[in-house]
Structure 1
Amino acid sequence: MSILAAFVVPHPPLLVPEVGRGEEKEIHATTAAYEEVARQIAVLHPETVVLLSPHAPAYGDYFQFTNGSAASGSFEAFGAPKVKLEAALDEELIQKLSELCQAQDLPGGTLGGRQKALDHGTLVPLYFIQPKNPHLRLVRIALSGLPLEEHYRLGMLIAKATKATGRSVVVVASGDLSHKLTAQGPYGFAEEGPIFDRQVTQALAQGDFYALLKLDRNFTAAAAECGLRSILILAGALDRQNVEAKLLSYEGPFGVGYAVASFYPGEANPQRAFLQQKLSEETQRLDSLRMAEDPFIALARYALETKVRKGETPALPPLLPPSLTQVRAGVFVSLKLFGELRGCIGTISPVTASLGEEILRNAVLSGTEDPRFSPVTPRELPLLVYSVDVLGPPEPISGLAELDPLRYGVIVRHRGRSGLLLPDLPGVTTAKEQVAIALRKAGIDPQSSYGLERFEVVRHT
Structure 2
Amino acid sequence: MVPHPPLLVPELVAGAVTETEAVRRACVAAGKRLAALSREWLAIASDAHFHGLTSADVAGTFRGYGVDKIVSLAEDGGRGDVDPALPLPALVAGWLRAEAGAAQVVVQTIDPGGSVNDCKRVGERLARQDRPVGLLVLGDGSSRHPGPSGHPDERSVGFDAGVRDALATADLDALLGLDVDLARELDVSGRAAWQALAGAASGRQWRPELLYSEAPFGVGYHVACWEPA
Q: Under TM normalisation by the shorter chain, which class is it?
A: 0.7 to 0.9
| Unaligned segments of structure 2, at least 5 residues | 76-82
Whether the 8 Å contact between 2:175 and 2:198 is mirrored in structure 1 is: no
Q: Secondary structure at the match of 2:205?
A: strand
Q: CA deviation at 1:187?
A: 5.0
2:78 aligned partner: none
Task: Confirm or deny that 1:261 pairs with 2:228.
Answer: no
- Residue 115 (structure 2) aligns with: 147
Match of 1:273 in 2: none
Q: Find the aligned partners of 1:116 and 1:54 in 2 and give their Cα distance.
A: 18
Could you tell me which of 116, 119, 126 is aligned with 1:158?
126
Separation in structure 2 between the aligned mates of residue 169 and residue 243 of structure 1, nearest angstrom = 16
Alignment-derived partner of residue 33 in structure 2: 40
Cα distance in 2 for residues equivalent to 1:139 and 1:150: 20
Verify: 1:86 aligned to 2:86, yes or no. no
How high is the sequence identity, in percent, across the aligned residues? 30
- The answer for the alignment partner of 2:142 in structure 1 is 178
| C-alpha deviation, 1:129, in angstroms | 2.5
Query: Partners in 2 of 1:30 and 1:88 — Cα distance?
Result: 24
Question: Kindly tell me: are residues 134 and 203 of structure 1, through their superposed partners in 2, closer, same or farther at Cα, counting changes over 3 Å?
Answer: closer
Maintained 8 Å contact 1:37/1:129: no
What amino acid maps onto 1:12 in structure 2?
P
2:11 maps to a residue whose letter is: E
Whether the aligned pair in 1 keeps the contact of 2:140 and 2:220 (CA below 8 Å) is yes
Partner residue of 2:189 out of 219, 223, 226: 226
Does structure 1 conserve the Cα–Cα contact (< 8 Å) formed by 2:74 and 2:94?
no
Q: CA 1:190 to 1:64, structure 2 compared with 1: closer, same or farther past 3 Å?
A: same
- Counterpart of 2:80 in structure 1 is none
Q: Which amino acid letter does the alignment assign opposite residue 103 of structure 2?
A: H
Q: Distance in 2 between matches of 1:36 and 1:134?
A: 13
Alignment of 1:98-247 (within 5 A): 117-136=85-104, 138-144=105-111, 145-160=113-128, 162=129, 165=130, 167-182=131-146, 184-186=147-149, 188-247=151-210
Which of the pair has more CA radius of gyration?
Answer: 1
Structure 2 residue identity aligned to 1:240: G
Q: CA deviation at 1:37?
A: 1.4
* In 1, Cα distance between equivalents of 2:156 and 2:198: 22
Whether contact under 8 Å (2:169, 2:209) holds in the other structure is: yes
Q: Distance in 1 between matches of 2:93 and 2:21?
A: 15
SS at match of 1:70: coil
Distance 1:217 1:56, change over 3 A: closer
Q: Which amino acid aligns with 2:108?
A: I
Corresponding residue to 1:66 among 33, 50, 54? 54
Question: Once the two structures are superposed, what CA deviation does each residue of 1:38-94 show, in whole Å capped at 9, x if it has no partner?
Answer: 221232233x21112223733xxxx52235x7121111011110x1012249xxxxx
Which one has more relative contact order, counting CA pairs under 8 Å at least 6 apart?
Answer: 2
Please state how far the C-alpha of 1:246 moved relative to its aligned partner.
1.0
Equivalent residue number for residue 103 of structure 1: none
The number of residue pairs the alignment matches comes to 221
RMSD: 2.1
Matched letter for residue 156 of structure 1? E
1:224 Cα offset (Å): 1.5
Where structure 1 has 5 or more consecutive residues not aligned to the other structure, the ranges are: 1-7, 90-114, 267-461
- Tell me the amino acid that sits aligned with residue 159 of structure 1: A
| TM-score, with length taken from structure 1 | 0.45
Q: Distance in 1 between matches of 2:38 and 2:54?
A: 23
**2:216 is paired with a residue of what secondary structure?**
coil
Q: 1:33 to 1:130 in 2, by over 3 A?
A: same
Could you tell me whether the CA contact under 8 Å between 2:208 and 2:226 is conserved in 1? yes
Q: What CA distance in whole angstroms lies between the structure 2 residues aligned with 1:35 and 1:221?
A: 28
In the TM superposition, residue 171 of structure 1 has moved relative to its aligned partner by: 0.9
